[in-house]
Amino acid sequence: MKLTILGTSSALPTSERYPSAHVLNVHERLFLIDCGEGTQMQLRRTRIRFGKINHIFISHIHGDHIFGLNGLLSSLSLMGRKSTLHLYAPENFKRILHSHLNDFEINLSFEIEFIPLSGKDPVLILDDKYITVTSFPLQHRIPTFGFLFREKEAERNIIRECITEYQIPTVRIPAIKKGADFITHDGVVIKNSDITTPPAKPLSYAYCSDTKYFERLASFVKGVTLLYHEATFDKSMDDLAALTCHSTTLDAARTALNAGAGNLLIGHFSSRYRNVQFLVDEARSIFPDTHAAVDGTSYMVDETITP
C-alpha cells in the first residue's frame, strides 16, 4: 500500500499546495480519493498512470475536492478509455455530474458506474480480492464522507523446509495456507502453526477530510495503520474551526490518539500558513507520530512513515 499526496491545500491553493487529491496504490491498482483542480496535472507530475485508476472517491461537493473531475474525465476519454469507471460520491452528485457533462458536450468513451454515498453509519462500498473500502459520515457543512481502505488478511506462509521434511504434496498447500493442519500418510497430525508463519498484518488507510471534531469518528477508523486527517487550522483558531466545520491540529491528533492509529498525516492546510512545521509540532503534543502531508510525495502505508 502506497499513498501519493497530490494536494494539501484547503479552499485557497498556494504556489506550493494544490487542492485535495490522494492516490492509494494497492497491488498496482489505483484508488483516487478526491479530485481538486489540477489533479490531472499532478498525476502527470508524479508519473501516475491515468489508466490504472478504476475507482474515484469524492468526499463532498466542495470545489477544492472536485473541480479537477471534469478535466480528468475529459482526458481519460480523449485517451480512449474503454473500461467502466466507478465513482463514489454523495448521492446528489449524480445529477450534477450528468448535467455538467451535458453542458460541456463531453461524450465519454467509457461508462461511469455511480455509487451514491449516504447514511449516518459506516457502509461497505467496495469488496474485492485484496481490500474492502468503507465510507463513513463526517461532520461538515454539507454531506461529507471519509473512507477506510483495509487490506484483506493474507494467507499464512508455509515454512519451505517443512514441505520437504513432511513431504507435503502440492495439492495440500492451498488448504494449509488457509489454516488447515497436515496429516501425514502415517496418520500423524502436524499442527498448522508448526508448518506455517502468520501473514503480515493487514494494512489500512483512512481519509478524513473535511470535518469538525466529533468523538465517534475515532471508532470509524479504529486501529488504522495510517490516518490522514485534515488540520485546516492551528490550535488557537478553535472558533473559526467550529464556524467552518473544520479541525484544528489538536482535533486531528485527538482522533488519531483515540483511534489508536499507527501514524497521522495532516493536510488541507489553510493558505495563511506558509510553513506547516509548527502545525505538526502542535499535533505531536498529543499524538507524537504525526507528519505533514507534502504535495507530490509518496508514503508507504506501514508502521514507519518513510516519505
* Residues designated catalytic: 64
Cell of residue 24, nine digits: 492509494
Sign of the Cα torsion 3, 74, 49, 93 reads positive
Q: For cell 500418510, name the residue.
A: 185
Binding a second copy (rule: CB under 8 A), the pick from 2, 29, 54, 61 is 61
Cα separation, 93 vs 103, in Å, equals 15
Q: What mask, x for binding a second copy by CB under 8 A, covers residues 23 to 42? A: --------------xx-xx-
Per-residue interface string for the shown chain with a second copy, residues 89-128, x marking contact by CB under 8 A: -------x--xx--xxxx----------------------
Q: Is 69 exposed, middle or buried (0-12, 13-18, 19+ CB in 10 A)?
A: buried
Burial bucket for residue 162 (CB in 10 Å: 0-12, 13-18, 19+): middle
User: Residue 126 belongs to what H/E stretch?
Assistant: strand 123-127
Shortest separation between residue 146's beta carbon and a second copy, angstroms: 21
Cβ proximity to a second copy: between 69 and 224 the closer is: 69
Calpha distance 219→171 (Å, rounded)? 42
Q: Does position 275 bind a second copy by CB under 8 A?
A: no
Task: In angstroms, give the least distance from the CB of 306 to a second copy.
Answer: 25
Q: Of 9 and 225, which CB lies nearer to a second copy in the complex structure?
A: 9
Cis-peptide, bond into residue 281, ω within 30° of zero = no
The one segment of 20-28, 71-79, 149-157, 251-259 that binds a second copy by CB under 8 A: 71-79
What is d(CA 60, CA 47) in angstroms, rounded to the nearest whole number?
26
Size of interface with a second copy, in residues (CB under 8 A): 35
Output the smallest distance, CB 208 to a second copy, in A: 22
Of 226 and 293, nearer to a second copy (C-beta) is 293
Verify binding: residue 146, a second copy, rule CB under 8 A: no
Work out which of 1, 4, 5, 18 binds a second copy, going by CB under 8 A: 18
Q: How many CA atoms lie within 13 A of 90 on its CB side?
A: 19
Is the alpha carbon torsion for 115, 117, 121, 126 positive or negative? positive
The total of other beta-carbon atoms located within 10 Å of residue 58's CB is 23
Residue 162, interface with a second copy (CB under 8 A)? no
Q: Of 144 and 204, which CB lies nearer to a second copy in the complex structure?
A: 144
Q: According to the binding rule CB under 8 A, does residue 298 interact with a second copy?
A: no
75 part of the interface to a second copy, by CB under 8 A = yes
The number of angstroms, rounded, from the C-alpha of 84 to the middle of its chain's C-alpha atoms is 21
Q: Which of 6, 23, 24, 62 binds a second copy (CB under 8 A)?
A: 62
Query: First and final CA of the chain: distance in angstroms?
Result: 13
Closer residue to a second copy (CB): 42 or 134: 42
> How far is the C-alpha of 241 from the C-alpha of 60, rounded, in Å?
18
The least distance separating a second copy from the CB of residue 12, rounded to whole angstroms, comes to 6
Q: Is 63 in the site for a second copy (CB under 8 A)?
A: yes
d(CA 86, CA 111): 9
Find the binding residues for a second copy in span 230-249 (CB under 8 A).
none
| Residues found near a second copy in the complex (CB under 8 A) | 11-15, 18-19, 37-38, 40-41, 44-45, 47, 61-64, 66-68, 70-71, 74-75, 78-79, 96, 99-100, 103-106, 142
